[in-house]
Amino acid sequence: MVTTMKPSRPLDMNVSDIPTFVVALAIAHAQEHGVPPERLLSGTGLNLDDIKNAGILISFRQAATIIRRMVRAIPDEPAGLAVGAKGALGSFGILGLAMLSSINIREAVAIGLTHHKEAGSLMDFSSELRGDEFAFILHERFPQPELLPFLCEEALSSIISLLRLALGEQVAPRRVEFSYAPPSYAEACGRFFQCPVHFGRAANRMVLDAALLDIPLTTSSPAILASSLKASVQALPVAEPMPDLVTSVESVLRGNLRERPTMTRVAAELNITERTLRRGLEAAGQSFSGIRDRLLERQARLLLEQPGQPIAAIAVELGFSDAREFRRAFHRWTGEAPSRFRQELPRADSE
């Protein structure tokens, strides 16, 4: 029996739809080897605060750029194994908690196959049950030959780490198979998985004893399972994901709202020309000024919700020359004055 999870919409490597969990662990691993985050993030439109923000989504293109730079900076290093083993809950986030709260491994696997993208996975998964063997099979979302070892090793090492967290360190696959040639650290793969590891095979997969599927979990909790699954789904935006060029512009502007960086400066930070930036935004149905105004309005609303903040101080914080200019802009965005918006806010002592 084979179970495959199909994408809900056509794949686009430039769409920001991936949580940053795995990329954050990769950057932390690179830092441990003396590689500064700025070297990995340059030109991606992202900064370290973005990567640490669980509410930020990035594109596969951005993730691949960061990981490619890490792999090149520390060659011959089993980075995928290290990142996947950093902590199963670190890789899977809230989804890992949901899986550990399942009735048994079978239910945990079903949850993981259904919701793995919510944990920031960079590979797609299917499962296969044949006789007394159960296998996790990996599928490339976008072909990336240079990154394939990292992506496969990170995915399978995070899965086995979660199984060991649930059932004990003695858990080992029957065998692991990779489609690529043996890397220089091939022996480290055998030590980590504690089983035969084969390279140059037809598929990327990890085969386990099917009897593991029906082992009950001592950490099972229906209440935690329900709440963590709900939180995992709610962590992703309801709106259609934006192209990564738009989210990259938002990231640069968000960190410099008071300075009001120009399109020329933003384009330079993204390592593209201003003309390319303008055309890209037009293709996405966006404009530079529209993105800037959207961010300014959002920040203005947040600041106005703080009762101790004078409107004049908010105007300065947002880069306006004076309170009058800010009032005009806020009225243009919302159709009402800042003072009116503040008056309509719920009182802290209201029921």
Which domains occur in the chain, in start order? Answer: 2-234 (3.90.1520), 256-343 (1.10.10.60)
- Report which of 178, 177, 160, 174 is spatially closest to residue 208, judged by C-alpha positions: 174
Query: CA neighbours within 13 Å on the CB side: how many for 151?
Result: 28
Is residue 31 within a helix (H) or strand (E), and if so which, with residue range? helix 21-32
pLDDT in tens, the chain (351 residues): 545 444 444 467 888 888 888 999 999 999 999 999 999 999 888 889 889 887 788 999 999 999 999 999 999 999 999 999 885 555 566 777 888 889 999 998 888 888 777 777 899 989 999 999 999 999 998 889 999 999 999 999 999 998 998 899 999 999 999 999 999 999 999 999 999 999 999 999 999 999 999 999 988 888 888 887 777 666 555 455 678 888 888 888 887 888 889 999 999 888 889 999 998 899 888 899 999 999 999 889 888 988 788 999 999 989 999 999 999 999 999 899 999 888 877 654 443
The residue to which tokens 């909790």 are assigned: 221
